[in-house]
Structure 1
Amino acid sequence: MKKIHLLILKAFIRPFIVTFFIVMFVLLMLFLWKYIDDLIGKGFEWYTILELMMYASATNVAMALPLSVLLSSIMTYGTLGENYELVAIKSAGISLSRALYPMVIVVAALSVAAFAFSDYMLPVANLKFYSLLYDARKQKSASLIKEGVFNNSFPGYSVRVQKKDPDGQLLHGVMIYERAGGSTSMQPTGASSSGNNVIFAKEGRMFKSFDNAFLIIKLKDGVRYEEDASSNGGYNPRETLMRLRFKETEVKMDLSSFKFNRTPQNEFSKAFQMLSSKQLLYSRDSVEKGVNLGLEQNLGAVTAYIKYFNMPHKPAPRKLPVIPHKHVLEALGSVTDQINAITNAGNEARSLKDIVKPKGDTYIENDKILRRYLIEYQKKFTLSAACLVLFLIGAPLGAIIRKGGLGLPVVISVVFFLIYYIISTIGEKSAKDGNISPVLGTWVAIFVLAPIGLFLSYKAANDSVLFDMELYKRFFANLFKRKESR
């Protein structure tokens, strides 16, 4: 390997690593910004948040890798052009295509690694990420009681407080609705209320039990209203209402619903994003066989409900006489026969509709599933192709603009990546809706950007001044002078 190749590789590796981690950090911050309300205030342990962030970072590789390849390639060749190192390389008789040779090998290796990651590691990361995120969003908030709001999270109770002290433990103006199953220290051990009871207290202090299984609220200076409801749910003429005043009592509330429980991951393992390429093909073949089998059975299911005509599996050897539409009823004879024929035909049509409509809905749903399988399968390859195409754009752009650093290269790379992302998103959505082929929908961004990359490579190889603003200024100045002279 020549020293020039080593120079270019060293100039590429450092910006690539730096930009990759910068992009990963930005995407991770976007993830936290999006789901901050679902994670904060629910009492998660620090390692649970860290685990969720780790899985989110793994799922962001599919977006961070192409962008970092584009940005680092622009920075690398922009820095070489800015320092006139590309001029020195060309003066030594080495063309730009030969200078790109080591980088093409490195990016090709990155593309192979990207395919292996998307096929083997990304499905596992998606499974762990979405299952953990689902449980995290389902988790109840750990901010147990808020001021001026009824909290119904505790089984058997509805709690409302007027004011809380800054420490969050001392409560003022406490109101507790106790439904069937609740218990307080004013009841015998093991007893539970049978009606809807209400507790008012001027002051209360809440804390958790030693095993964190219960929330205990010690109430002071209050009154408890107990309603002796009928046991059979009907009218009770002896129904009584008791009022009990207390100096101090306590209410014990179960916290089991606030524990972070994990859903079994096998409930998510059949989703499209959690399957490898082999699993996607196998699942798609299974669904396709089911669709074909259903289509074969449709004829037999429909034939049994058709009374007036036969549906032969083979065409009839002779042509049957065709009666014009306006003379069909007249050929039936009397008016009674005509009415009976119309009624029977309507009943038969409704029966056929009731049979065909569910089958049609099932076919449409299975067709959507087949498209999703094919889309996810193609996305395993588009990540690798995106790395190659964006490098094909970034390296010539860097050689043309001759600007390094994080200034102009960042702007240009973001513009091209947004073009790629928008086109791929629109194509994927159109493919999911069935407007275009799944293959075309997933590869349309590659098909659009690849000619641009080839054009920029051609311009860079011929020392084009494509982004020289002075050239455009002179062009428009000469154009205006010609118009004035005319």
Structure 2
Amino acid sequence: MKKLDKLIIKSFIGPFVATFFITLFVLVMQFFWLWIDDFVGKGLDAVTILKFIWYQSAVLIPLALPLAVLLSSLMTFGNLGESFELVAIKSAGISLLRFMRPLVFVSLLISLGAFLFANYIIPVATLKSRTMLADIVLAKPAFDIKEGVFYDKLDRFAIKIGKKEKDDSTIRDVIVFENNYSGGGLQDNFVVAKDGVMKPSPDKRFLDIVFKDGWRYQERGSRSDSSTEYIRLGFKEYKMQLDISSFNFKASDDSSNRNNERVLSMRQLDIAIDSMTRFANLEIDRYRSSMRNNFSLLMYKDSVVKGVVIPDSVLNFKKNNDAFRGLDSITGRAVSTLTDKAKTPSDSTVRKKDSAGSTALAGSSKRIRNSKSRQAAALKKPDTVAAATTPAAARALKKDSAARRDSAALAKRKLEANTITAFLPDSAQLNLTERAIGNINIAKDNASINLGSIQEQEKSIRRYKIEWHKKIVLALACFLMFMIGAPLGSIIRKGGLGTPMIFAIIFFLVFYFSSNTGEKMAKEGSLTPFSGMWLSTFILTPIGAFLTYKAMRDSNLFNKEFYNRLKRKMQDALRKKQQRLKTKQKTA
């Protein structure tokens, strides 16, 4: 490794470590500021608080690393530019990219470490911190009795202390009320004492109270019985033990949070996404199958129109029902056609028909011929709806040949559509209509229920995909922030924490808000998980390339003198233009 590479790496490591811990501290304090109300008054010991801070700090490391890399790279190259070391290096013929090369490898190593940390360490730390946070939020406030106020946080007990000495154990003018006392048939129970000593047990599960010089009041008997006994007992010393174990912090099992997407590695996320996707597809197929079952009659409609044989159950229903004898001519034609297609009788069977059967067959043939003639006439006539309109409308319809053709086609479609119900009596048609309406209502309800279920599954899949991309995006952000900070520092040429901090906050806010916006849009379904999570990368990558291009050409992008010169040139040009206009006006 050359001395120049060692110089730039040493110049970078110091600010990076310092800014990393400062950034991490700020993020942890910001988290505690949001949850401070749930931590205060819970009586948490130092070990529990330190353990929670340890886990939460690990969770916030992927967010602190990009800001630390950005700020440290700005400070490093700003210091080199401010002390003219960067100018000396460039004058020696070393380009900016060659000078940045060792830190490029360092930033890539930081990105790789951030990815491995986010994939293997962060899930465990997130699981522990979320479980501890839930336990802390649900924990009861610490046991603390104030003077002159009844403390009723204990189960079945209320305690009032007139005065508490400085040692926090000696108490004066004590009243203890016990409600719903279940032992010995007693009702309410009072203890009144002048003095007492109150100390928790070594394991802090019980509160031992020793009363001195007092009275104990009891009521013996049932609450529903008016003949109860009133008992008063005086004592010199009376001991009572209260259960305060519910006030102690209890660590619960973390199994309830193990299915959360934030506690899974990328491999586990892939398995979960694949399982949920297959389950969602099965749900969609099941719903499609149920919809086909609800509208099974549509298959028969297509069969009638296309000439496919109607099922035997339908034909047998027609044959055995006397109500079909009164069908009109259209019905007779349809049923005769379907019957001929379903079952064609042999010649011998026809010859064996008796005279009554021949007469019935002849009558049926006559009705069929009449039906065909009426159908042909109906197809030639204009639509009955059009004929029923006003005379003026009828004359207009006759003049329009296209309208007459449309009416004929409409009548033909109506005739074909009626063939599905043509062989049914009126009562059966009404029953069929009612059943169809019922099936439609059921299908609507099922559609709304299944749609909500499918949408929830798709939302869960999007959340898991978002977390998968987030692990890569946050790791890559470290390298991206370096490619912004290094050229920007060489342009502004300001070291320290002042100017670099301002630019670092600006670009980090752009990264933070674009990441959150993309994540929210991806969760809502407005963007795909890929587009939403990589939105910040798509925004900042051109900025980094532009700044690198400007830095390689010694741009005056953030040089105050450059903008002052540009302002003076614009003012001079504007002044000359005004003078030319005045000269033209005078000559005119």
- Pairwise TM-score range, normalised by the shorter structure: 0.7 to 0.9
Asked whether the 8 Å contact 1:162–1:173 carries over to 2, the reply is yes
Alpha-carbon distance, 1:90 to partner: 0.7
| Residue 217 of structure 1: aligned partner | 209
| Residue 459 of structure 1: aligned partner | 550
Distance 1:463 1:192, change over 3 A: farther
Does 2:116 correspond to 1:116? yes
1:252 aligned counterpart, secondary structure: strand
Asked whether the 8 Å contact 1:332–1:338 carries over to 2, the reply is no
Asked whether the 8 Å contact 1:303–1:311 carries over to 2, the reply is no
Alpha-carbon distance, 1:310 to partner: 4.1
Q: How far apart, in 2, do the equivalents of 1:90 and 1:78 lie?
A: 15
| Per-residue CA distance 1:322-351 (angstroms, 9 max, x = gap) | 559xx99x9999998887666544433333
| Residue 128 of structure 1: aligned partner | 128
Distance 1:399 1:208, change over 3 A: same
Normalised to the residue count of structure 2, the TM-score between the two structures is 0.72
Q: How far apart, in 1, do the equivalents of 2:520 and 2:251 lie?
A: 32
AA matched with 2:560: M
**1:290 aligned to 263, 270, 279, which one?**
279
| Residue 368 of structure 1: aligned partner | 459
| Per-residue CA distance 1:55-83 (angstroms, 9 max, x = gap) | 11111111111011000000110011011
Percent sequence identity is: 40
| Per-residue CA distance 1:95-131 (angstroms, 9 max, x = gap) | 1111111111111111111111111111111112222
Q: How far apart, in 2, do the equivalents of 1:299 and 1:121 lie?
A: 43
Find the structure with the greater CA-based Rg: 2
**1:238 aligned to 217, 227, 230, which one?**
227
| Per-residue CA distance 1:112-158 (angstroms, 9 max, x = gap) | 11111111111111112222222233222223324566544423223
Q: How far apart, in 2, do the equivalents of 1:147 and 1:349 lie?
A: 69
Q: Comparing 380-389 with 277-286, which one deviates more in the overlay?
A: 380-389
Alpha-carbon distance, 1:41 to partner: 3.9
1:198-347 alignment to 2 at 5 Å? 198-199=190-191, 204-219=196-211, 224-228=216-220, 230=222, 235-239=224-228, 242=231, 249-306=238-295, 308-310=297-299, 318=306, 323=414, 343-347=434-438
Unaligned runs of 5+ in 1: 183-190
Task: Judging by fraction of residues, say which structure has more helix.
Answer: 2
Alpha-carbon distance, 1:287 to partner: 0.9
Asked whether the 8 Å contact 2:181–2:188 carries over to 1, the reply is no
Does 2:409 correspond to 1:421? no
Alpha-carbon distance, 1:23 to partner: 1.3
2:438 aligned counterpart, secondary structure: helix
Alpha-carbon distance, 1:47 to partner: 2.2
Q: How far apart, in 2, do the equivalents of 1:225 and 1:310 lie?
A: 84
| Per-residue CA distance 1:168-220 (angstroms, 9 max, x = gap) | 434456554423357xxxxxxxx466534455556554211344331123445
Distance 1:457 1:306, change over 3 A: same
Q: How far apart, in 1, do the equivalents of 2:236 and 2:423 lie?
A: 93
Normalised to the residue count of structure 1, the TM-score between the two structures is 0.86
Q: CA RMSD in A?
A: 3.4
AA matched with 2:250: N
Distance 1:418 1:181, change over 3 A: farther
Q: How far apart, in 1, do the equivalents of 2:303 and 2:535 lie?
A: 44
1:101 aligned counterpart, secondary structure: helix
Q: How far apart, in 2, do the equivalents of 1:149 and 1:311 lie?
A: 81
**2:468 aligned to 377, 398, 411, which one?**
377
Does 2:286 correspond to 1:195? no
Asked whether the 8 Å contact 2:221–2:227 carries over to 1, the reply is no
Distance 1:174 1:430, change over 3 A: farther
Unaligned runs of 5+ in 2: 309-411, 579-588
1:144-155 alignment to 2 at 5 Å? 144-147=144-147, 151-155=151-155
